[in-house]
């Protein structure tokens, strides 16, 4: 099962990064390219422990739906979202926020598994790990830019 770990420095407080990372509206704005939008559960505002959201998006030209739940939550330090229904056999995403002199060090750890047994494992290695890493990096760069102080 692939694991992706990314660290992003953000010039904002852990509280601001935590809230923005749980915001359905921020997520939608950061993922405009794939057309992600919330269609059920919490569809606007900031999510909390136990909340679910169902996303509709298009990746690789294919429409997807995924429902995730905030399964662990310790504001403003970390939270976990996990797929409860959707395209992955497993999707587990931990978000950690650590105060630094310049703001916050945000660490994403994602464990995922594709369906379809051996074929799915091949797709993970050849396509999905690189694609998901790029998607997360793009989102994190968007978040860092959105939270940066304006001159």
Contact 135, 50 (CB under 8 A): no
Q: What is the pLDDT of residue 90?
A: 96
Written as one string, the DSSP assignment of 90-122 is: EEEEEEEEEEETTEEEEEEEEEEE-SSHHHHHH
What is the pLDDT averaged over residues 44-64? 94
CATH architecture of 3-147: 2-Layer Sandwich (3.30)
What is the pLDDT averaged over residues 40-66? 95
pTM: 0.93
Model confidence at 126, pLDDT cuts 50, 70, 90, reads very high
Number of H helices, E strands in the chain: 4, 7
Q: What is the pLDDT of residue 60?
A: 87
99: Cα separation from own chain's centroid = 20
- C-alpha 110/C-alpha 9 separation (Å) is 18
More confident residue, 86 or 149: 86
Q: What is the pLDDT of residue 151?
A: 67
pLDDT by residue (tens digit) across 74-125? Answer: 999 999 999 999 999 999 999 999 999 999 999 999 999 999 999 999 999 9
Q: Which of 9-13, 19-23, 29-33, 142-146 has the lowest mean pLDDT?
A: 29-33
pLDDT at residue 129 greater than cutoff 90 = yes
Q: Which residues contact 59 (CB under 8 A, 6 or more apart)?
A: 34, 131
Average pLDDT, the chain: 95
């Amino acid at each position: 099962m692939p694991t992706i770990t990314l660290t992003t420095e953000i010039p904002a407080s852990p509280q601001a990064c935590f809230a923005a990372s749980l915001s359905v509206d921020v997520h939608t704005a950061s993922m405009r390219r794939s057309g992600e939008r919330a269609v059920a559960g919490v569809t606007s505002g900031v999510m909390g422990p136990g909340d679910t959201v169902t996303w509709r998006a298009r990746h690789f030209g294919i429409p997807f739906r995924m429902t995730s739940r905030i399964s662990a939550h310790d504001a403003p330090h970390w939270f976990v979202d996990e797929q409860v229904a959707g395209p992955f056999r497993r999707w587990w995403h931990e978000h950690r926020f650590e105060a630094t002199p310049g703001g916050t060090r945000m660490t994403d750890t994602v464990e995922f598994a594709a369906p379809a047994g051996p074929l799915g494992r091949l797709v993970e290695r050849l396509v999905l790990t690189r694609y998901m890493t790029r998607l997360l990096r793009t989102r994190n760069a968007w978040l860092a830019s959105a939270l940066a102080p304006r001159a």
